[in-house]
């Protein structure tokens, strides 16, 4: 087993804990490759681990370990997706729907990872294309969570035409529009009133942000459908944000197309926690009734 290491070095704890973990790998003769940023910032040349640009890490290892929060996982998924390498998130952040284990658990799970005692969960992802028509796309983005069109700094709502394939769906009068995966259904879409989907589903969620009419509700469509969006604003520029990290200014002349990516993101599961357990923990579900009524088990 050769590990690829990707880390969010802006989190103050990461530069303190990562060298210790790499020392443990070295002590146990476990191979690893680092991003160039990690090797340069932490001065780890004495360990002898090779380093590469982050875009190459997925092609040079058997599993990528990310040290950070869900944002680090989202960036890593984008950087290594073409390689098909599985990712394991080590949670240094706060909420952590995507990150699988803590740093302490990583040390105890190391033998399981090396011996193959883990499972792989495929998560569908999205591609967003932006251009001036169906045959003139100029920008392409990858999203594990969501593609968000927002009015930006302008105070007034915008008009958003939405098509499913070539069929007109609706014109939303809203602050924006979210198109997300089942994985992304626990993020911005949930805050905007969208439904929760289990991550093994194959579907796309269309969620308006603060719609003017209460009749304009979120919609779930099959993952094979292509979503096309054209927005109109009294001012020229709106904002397209992909996974909250890639941002592009959008004008009235732009067409946005969102569809399922060819390759899923492969996540390592080794904690034993199910999606429902994660929901109960992160959203504090069922604690009051469980204390009052007890458990079925």
Instruction: Give the strand order in the sheet containing 137-143.
Output: 137-143, 126-131, 255-260, 227-232, 158-164, 167-174
> CA-to-CA distance for 219 and 71, rounded, in angstroms?
26
231 C-beta neighbours (distance < 10 Å), count: 25
Residue 40 sits at φ, ψ, to 5 deg, of: -75, -45
> CA-to-CA distance for 191 and 122, rounded, in angstroms?
24
Point out the catalytic residue in the list 20, 36, 62, 70.
70
| Active-site residue, 70 included | yes
List the catalytic residues: 70
């Amino acid at each position: 087993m050769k590990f690829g290491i990707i880390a969010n070095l802006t989190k103050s704890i990461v530069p303190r804990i990562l060298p210790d973990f790499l020392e443990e790998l070295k002590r146990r003769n476990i191979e690893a490759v680092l991003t160039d940023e990690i090797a340069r910032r932490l001065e780890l040349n004495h360990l002898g681990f090779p380093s590469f640009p982050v875009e190459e890490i997925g092609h040079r290892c058997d599993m990528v370990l990310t040290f950070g929060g869900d944002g680090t996982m989202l960036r890593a998924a984008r950087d290594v997706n073409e390689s098909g390498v599985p990712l394991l998130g080590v949670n240094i952040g706060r909420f952590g729907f995507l990150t699988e284990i803590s740093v302490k658990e990583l040390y105890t799970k190391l033998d399981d990872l090396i011996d193959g005692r883990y499972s792989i969960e495929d998560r569908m992802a999205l591609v967003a294309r932006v251009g001036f028509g169906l045959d003139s796309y100029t920008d392409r983005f990858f999203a594990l969570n969501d593609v968000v069109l927002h009015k930006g700094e302008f105070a007034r709502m915008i008009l958003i035409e939405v098509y499913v394939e070539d069929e007109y769906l609706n014109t939303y009068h809203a602050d924006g529009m979210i198109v997300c995966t089942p994985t992304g259904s626990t993020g911005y879409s949930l805050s905007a009133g969208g439904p929760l989907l289990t991550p093994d589903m194959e579907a796309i969620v269309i969620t308006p942000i603060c719609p003017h009419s209460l009749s304009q509700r979120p919609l779930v469509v099959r993952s094979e459908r292509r979503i096309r969006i054209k927005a109109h604003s009294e001012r020229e520029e709106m904002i397209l944000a992909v996974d909250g990290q890639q941002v592009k200014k959008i004008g009235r002349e732009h067409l946005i197309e969102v569809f399922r990516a060819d390759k899923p993101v492969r996540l390592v599961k080794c904690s034993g926690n199910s999606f429902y357990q994660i929901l109960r923990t992160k959203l504090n579900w069922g604690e009051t009734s469980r204390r009052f009524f007890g458990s079925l088990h």
